[in-house]
Structure 1
Amino acid sequence: MDKRLAIMIIEADETRAATIVDGLREAGDFEIHTVSDSAGLARRIAETRPDVVLIDLADPSRDILEELALASGPTERPVAMFVDRSDAPLTRAAIEAGVSAYVVDGLRGDRIKPILDAAIARFHMFQRMRAELAATRAALEERKIIDRAKAILMKARGIDEEAAYALLRKTAMDQGKRVAEIAQQLVMAAGLLT
């Protein structure tokens, strides 16, 4: 059985909060938490651990945006922000903070579910990109370590690059480790000897 999507709504105005709640209830079966006061927001989000955060701000300030960005953990969950007016610097700051959807003058019940879906899709897309970037950086670092280890072996043993890599690979297989681990150990040992 699938877990119900937990959504935290941050909205000080009860009427606007009710519009969001009604729009969500019409769109599906969600676990909805409404917060009207942003004081202690980080603690509330940490306790509730919502899957998605919907923020509705009539007039957002940079301070509120920074607090919400820190509290809502945009890298941990999708965040959709509804605002009443367009402001290029605040839009840019929201996107840079990781807000998945920044919607100007779009708070209507029938639009909430599509916006929520778009925010979730965009969040997952960026999560995949972050994971791919981290994996690429890790692979590059491993490649650098392996190249350093090969250079050490080539100098110490007077062998060519292919033979150095073959030696690293054989040692890794013999020890049941990855080539990068053996290379890291060799680089560290060589560092101690110099």
Structure 2
Amino acid sequence: MKTVRVNATNDPPAPIRVLICEDEEITAMHLLKALESAGYDVVGEASDGEEAIRLADETQPDFILMDINMPKVSGLIATQKITEKRPVPVIIVTAYSSDETVQAALDAGAAAYLVKPVTREQLLPAVRIAQARFAMLQEAQAEAGNLREAMESRKLIERAKGIVQQRLQLSEPDAFAHLQSLSRNKRKTLKDTAEDIIRADDAFRQEMGV
């Protein structure tokens, strides 16, 4: 079992706290160095799924990096158990990029995924994207009142966010922030705002014959 390293400083702003769940020691070390060099606080490292579940409960991280193929308990099952107990952004790390794998990760509660080998240039933007998607799901769930409706809302919001990204040339987190701003300004839910954007885009495409 690897040592849990907790940041004891109370100086604001507090660093974002990360739990790494990876059974390959070299990969775990690479992720650790990349995160710490970017100012993140790695509060724990798990080498199997059972340890991941336990450390997630003990350390209460701000987000989790989870390998999909973990010993004892798979990364997908560990993600599901962790997010059912306490919602937290999870990035699934996998050697596979098939649609089935990606969908399984999202169904388990993951906010994003990365394909190995993971570079620092891929990792840091993925963290921002995962946090943006997690915030989106939390807001959608608060609006909808239950997870099933929230997941349906998420699909609409994801589609609208993609339209905003393409039209305004924004990053994913910035596109979501734009949706939030529109929602507040129009005093509408994110879902209703997303539907407005999708309808407008469909009308534009029909008019242009695209």
Contact 1:42–1:70 under 8 Å retained in 2: no
Secondary structure in 2 matching 1:116: helix
Cα distance, 1:95–1:38 mapped onto 2, change above 3 Å = same
Identity %, equivalent residues:
26
Paired position in structure 1 for 2:103: 92
What letter corresponds to residue 8 of structure 1 in structure 2?
L
Cα distance, 1:6–1:121 mapped onto 2, change above 3 Å = same
What letter corresponds to residue 76 of structure 1 in structure 2?
P
Paired position in structure 1 for 2:77: 67
Paired position in structure 1 for 2:129: 118
TM-score under structure 1 length normalisation: 0.61
What letter corresponds to residue 82 of structure 2 in structure 1?
S
Aligned residue pairs, count: 133
Q: Matches of 1:37 and 1:77 in 2, distance apart? A: 19
TM-score under structure 2 length normalisation: 0.56
Q: Matches of 1:42 and 1:86 in 2, distance apart? A: 24
Cα distance, 1:65–1:22 mapped onto 2, change above 3 Å = closer
Secondary structure in 2 matching 1:25: helix
Q: Matches of 1:4 and 1:64 in 2, distance apart? A: 28
Cα distance, 1:77–1:121 mapped onto 2, change above 3 Å = same
How far apart are 1:65 and its partner, in Å? 4.1
Paired position in structure 2 for 1:22: 33
Residue 49 of structure 1, aligned match among 60, 84, 108: 60
Q: Highest Rg: 1 or 2?
A: 1
Contact 2:20–2:44 under 8 Å retained in 1: yes
Q: Matches of 1:92 and 1:29 in 2, distance apart? A: 28
Q: Deviations over 1:57-107 (max 9, x none)?
A: 4x579x714422233316611000111112332321211122000222351
Contact 2:66–2:75 under 8 Å retained in 1: no
Paired position in structure 1 for 2:94: 83
Bigger relative contact order, structure 1 or 2 (CA pairs below 8 A, ≥6 apart): 1
Unaligned runs of 5+ in 1: 136-194
Q: Matches of 1:76 and 1:66 in 2, distance apart? A: 15
